Chains A and B, each alone.
Chain A
Amino acid sequence: MPDLLTAEGVRKEFGGLVAVNDVDFTIPERSIVSLIGPNGAGKTTFFNMLTGVYKPTAGKIIFDSGNITGKPPHAITERGIGRTFQNIRLFQNMTAVENTLVGMHSRLSGGIVRSVLRTPGLKREEQDARKRALELLQYSGLRGRNEEYARNLPYGDQRRLEVARALATQPKLLLLDEPTAGMNPQETGEFISFVSRLREEKGLTILLIEHDMRVVMGGSDRVTVLDYGEKIAEGTPQEVQRDERVIEAYLGSGALAG
């Protein structure tokens, strides 16, 4: 399968600290790829470069055969990368539907003049958008909570709403940043099967960030391991699990000797 996203020699320095060190990385279309590594390995920094929050110090990121290196976040979203955040960043004082509608921003056209005039075309667009938003909320498992403020939703539902909002941007590639953080094993299992469903039903490509190795072993086609900003292993979950450097990174060098 062709690659949907290719990162070549991507590097990020914060002052003297090299957070991500010349990482090459590819995501084949319609695959579920995981990026794992211990805390502070540079996963989120890498992720933030893919979505435009950070500008890479060096390297190139190609998405859907276009160069997106250093593009602003909204432009990258518009090209088809949707994301969630590690620590939930919903619009707390907007309702679930409104959150989802904000996600559709780049897919809607209403400008300032048309909004004031509320042309029939715009009215139709808004109605359709609302309908789609409700469908997405239901699809993500948020039935009956459409008009609830985001801050009033229970934790699990806030995670679901983040996914619904990201889906609303109509992404080709969905980036999930530690989506199962704070979930119990059962919720985690449900979430992973939801992610596979997204690929089957919506044809999405998914990049998952996790620091917990067990989470990604079941669902992913391929796993990349980062440690201290460097790629130390890449391959199928089974291969990665057996890799010495991975074991060392996770358990410390003493684990091998024992």
Chain B
Amino acid sequence: MFGNLLAGIRARWPEFEHETRRRAVRGGIVAGAAFLILALTGAASLSLVVTFAVALALYVPAWNRLPRGRWVVVIGVILIAVLYPFYQANMFEMPLFGGFPSVDTGVTMLIFIMMALGLNIVVGYAGLLDLGYVAFYAMGAYTAAWFASQHFSGKNVHFGSVGVNPAAPGIHISIWPVLFIAAIFTGVVGVIIGFPTLRLRGDYLAIVTLGFGEIMPQVARNGDNLFGQNLTNGPQGINPIDPPGFGDTLNNATGLPADYLTFNTTFLGHDVSSVELFFWTALVLVLFTVFCSVRLRDSRIGRAWIAIREDETAAAAMGVPLMRTKTWAYAAGAFFGGIAGAYYASFKSGTFPDDFFFNISIFILCMVILGGMGNIWGVILGGGFLAYLNQEGLGNIGGWLNRHFSGASTSSDKWFTIWPHDIDVPLYQFGIFGVILVLVMLFKPEGLIPSERRKAEFREGVADEPFYDVQH
């Protein structure tokens, strides 16, 4: 086994060396320029040097040319993410963007990455434009609220609940089964919604899913009296939702944290408390989603999805059942949306109808498009970046701009006045995302990191003429 690997490396070495040289030049130029800019704008520090060293170590050697080499990059990225809470505070300040995102923002970023990966199955793999993905997110969140809060105060069900009095009314089930319940529930709802809608194609499908995305928050908002039942507690939303945790029994047996909210310890000279736990858990969920996405993409089902995206008529003629296969894509996407929603509700300890407005669907779709439809690395990048901008980036950018250019600025960093008063940049978030989307569509329509296939499709289009009167 090990000997094989060595032999494999030796066989591919010339190719590896050649590609590495090429990348060394390219990476060297880009990194050098970036380093200079950052260093000159006052970011010069040990952390800057280390960051560049790590980035170059992952990029320059052509790892993917070696047998099992791509694992080097995957494991490297996972390590960078896992260790993030420990070095986040020591990172350098970027110009314009300010400091690195806080761990708290990191949790939100990871949750949105997970949703973007789920939507990527629907949009990126199967090519079904879904403008109502937020519906699944909401469904996951409300599932968590139903099964882990005092909402159904008439009931008194406890199962591995954490951080609640055993006598407390309501259904209190541990977060882990709840995540699973939410995933299955939203997956099933995905099938139910998909069944009538997936007969439609292209624009028509988009319009119907848009409708679902609009209906969902209204149902949540008015769900405090749904045929006499209070399902969603209306505009107030449902809170608090029980925190995640493994409970005392598992804590004693395995040392896993009993309750995320009360957890506190020191590790590697760094305080580890609830937000770090939320971060790592989200990371595990993202890795799970990535794992499933990759496996699905490379399977019989994944091939069928791509075939449908390329040419529905030909796919059907080759024995791919269109309805069933599309519904599976929908269900798989909904599954991950549900988990993300439930986890987000648990992280925020509440769920509110205002969190599920239509713009979130578009926001998640932007992540997929910006990153590169169908490409997992791309979607992770797009999801992380847009969630970061939304959560903290735009605020930082606004602060930076106002400090340097606002007439109201009293900072010593002030350069010159362009506008008289401070501008609230996050207020224009959707305008800014819109501009980003337009720019991406103009200059790199296949996304920042496109998949090979998608690149070709954008250049040459897909040949897909509609069926006329097919019964699925």
Contacts and interface: CB of A to CB of B under 8 A. Distances in A.
Given A93-B456, A94-B453, A102-B303, A116 B292 contact: yes
A102 B456 contact: no
B295 interface: yes
Determine the main DSSP class of B at the interface with A. helix
Contact of B332 (A91, A110, A112, A122): A112
Interface stretch (B42-50, B318-326, B362-370): B318-326
Interface in A71-103: 72-75, 77-78, 83, 85, 89-94, 98, 101-103
B267 interface: no
Nearest to B324: A74
Contacts of B91: none
Contacts of A83: 317
A168 B302 CA distance: 18
Given A112-B328, A115-B302, A91 B317 contact: no
B300 A93 contact: no
Given A105-B300, A115-B296, A72 B471 contact: yes
Given A77-B319, A92-B310, A103-B318, A112 B303 contact: no
A78 B320 CA distance: 9
B33 interface: no
Interface in B427-472: 452-454, 456-457, 460, 462-463, 467-472
Contacts of A126: 299-300
A168 B320 CA distance: 13
Interface string B296-330: 10011111101100110111111111100000100
A137 to B, nearest CB: 15
Interface in A102-120: 102-103, 105-108, 110-112, 115-118
B294 to A, nearest CB: 9
Contacts of B303: 94, 98, 101-102, 105
Contacts of A117: 295
A100 B296 CA distance: 18
A55 B319 CA distance: 17
A92 B470 contact: no
A55 B469 contact: yes
B121 to A, nearest CB: 11
A205 interface: no
Contacts of A90: 311, 314
Most chain-A Cβ atoms within 10 A of its Cβ — which of B292, B296, B300, B472?
B300
A169 B319 contact: yes
B470 A112 contact: no
A72 B472 contact: yes
15 contacts: A53-B313, A53-B317, A54-B468, A72-B471, A77-B319, A89-B317, A90-B311, A91-B315, A92-B311, A93-B452, A94-B307, A101-B303, A115-B300, A118-B295, A118-B299
Interface of B: 291-292, 295-296, 299-304, 306-307, 310-311, 313-322, 328, 331-332, 452-454, 456-457, 460, 462-463, 467-472
Interface of A: 51-55, 70, 72-75, 77-78, 83, 85, 89-94, 98, 101-103, 105-108, 110-112, 115-118, 122, 126, 149, 151, 165-166, 168-169
Given A89-B317, A92-B311, A105-B320, 5 more contacts: A55-B470, A73-B316, A102-B315, A112-B301, A151-B456
A-B complex: 10 closest residue pairs judged by Cβ atoms: A106-B319, A115-B299, A77-B319, A73-B316, A89-B314, A91-B310, A110-B300, A93-B453, A74-B321, A102-B307
